[in-house]
Amino acid sequence: WASTSLGPWVQQTTVDAPPGRFAHGACLSVVNNAPTMVVFGGIIGLTAITDEVWLYGVNTSTFTPVPNTGLWPSARYGHVTACTNNLMYVLGGLSLSNVSLSNLNAVPMDTVYALDPTTAQVTHNRIKKKEEEEEKKKKKEQEEDEKN
């Protein structure tokens, strides 16, 4: 469905649409100089979760799957996504058994994945907590004191 400038909602005809899903993440980005909705994860049916990424070309009404390459977020739902600077960021989520993914992955829950939809490359960064920063600063100050 789409609407422009507060106009009426109009059902769109799409090409190669993926299976329906809910509790997924989606955000608007720019891919190949065109407005593109990037869709990640979610629940398909009532029994399966996915780690699929799909691109929806707003101007063409066409879906394109993004191949899974490199470090990829595990299948999840209920996560948070945001797009900026042509990257989709993914944080958190749950497994099919409603378990926080921080208990299932080698990558901690405080990890943010960044997907470049044009290259299918994924990077990840751990969010530094304020306490960690303060501890690091204190340790550095102690080391400097010991030198003096």
Q: Give 10-residue mean pLDDT values along the chain (148 residues).
A: 78 86 94 92 91 93 88 86 90 77 49 83 70 73 81
- The tokens of 115 are what? 């997907």
The pLDDT, as a whole number, for residue 39 is: 96
What is this structure's pTM?
Answer: 0.75
Q: How far apart are alpha carbons 90 and 112 in whole angstroms?
A: 6
The pLDDT, as a whole number, for residue 24 is: 95
Q: In the chain, which residue ranges form alpha helices assigned H by DSSP? A: 130-147
The pLDDT, as a whole number, for residue 28 is: 93
Query: Burial level of 39, CB count in 10 A (0-12/13-18/19+)?
Result: buried
Q: In 4-148, which residue ranges form alpha helices assigned H by DSSP? A: 130-147
The pLDDT, as a whole number, for residue 25 is: 95
The pLDDT, as a whole number, for residue 9 is: 84
Torsion sign across C-alpha atoms 38, 43, 48, 49: positive
